[in-house]
Amino acid sequence: MAGSGSPCGACKFLRRKCVRGCIFAPYFCHEQGASHFSAIHKVFGASNVSKLLAHLPLSDRCEAAVTISYEAQARLQDPIYGCVSHIFALQQQVVNLQAQLAFLKDQAAQSLSMALL
């Protein structure tokens, strides 16, 4: 934690002094270690992430840090599509579910019309 002696995970990775008020400290703890931040630095760059967090209200920064970390991890695992591969997979799942739903609705309508005959 900033000011308590141990640098936060980000400053540990960046090998810099973790000052009081460090923008990363609340979201990248010392215990998570440097490896957690390395993906973020490699994909976005610590400076860009620092600026992005600084432009957000304090109450929104935790969520932003989580989603940035997720995007960074996904881009390292899949350098071509990153987390967009997850979007493609979900879009396909939606299409499949909609097709199943349309089929069942059609069947139900047919059963009803037969019952009414």
Instruction: Give the footprint of a second copy on this chain (CB under 8 A).
Output: 42-45, 47-48, 52, 55-56, 60, 63-64, 67-68, 70-71, 75, 79-84, 86-87, 90-91, 93-94, 97-98, 100-101, 104-105, 107-108, 111
Is 24 or 30 the residue whose CB approaches a second copy more closely?
A: 24
In the complex, minimum distance from the CB of residue 117 to a second copy, in angstroms, rounded to a whole number: 14
In the complex, minimum distance from the CB of residue 29 to a second copy, in angstroms, rounded to a whole number: 20
Is 5 or 79 the residue whose CB approaches a second copy more closely?
A: 79
Is 4 or 98 the residue whose CB approaches a second copy more closely?
A: 98
- Cβ-defined contacts of 11-16 (< 8 Å, 24+): 12/37, 13/37, 13/38, 13/41, 14/41, 14/46
- Tell me the helices (H) and strands (E) count for the chain, helix number first: 5, 0
User: Distance between CA 108 and CA 63 in Å, rounded?
Assistant: 43
In the complex, minimum distance from the CB of residue 52 to a second copy, in angstroms, rounded to a whole number: 6
Is 5 or 116 the residue whose CB approaches a second copy more closely?
A: 116
- Between 46-54 and 34-43, two packed helices, what is the crossing angle to 10 degrees? 90
Closest among 45, 35, 85, 34 to 68, alpha carbons compared: 45
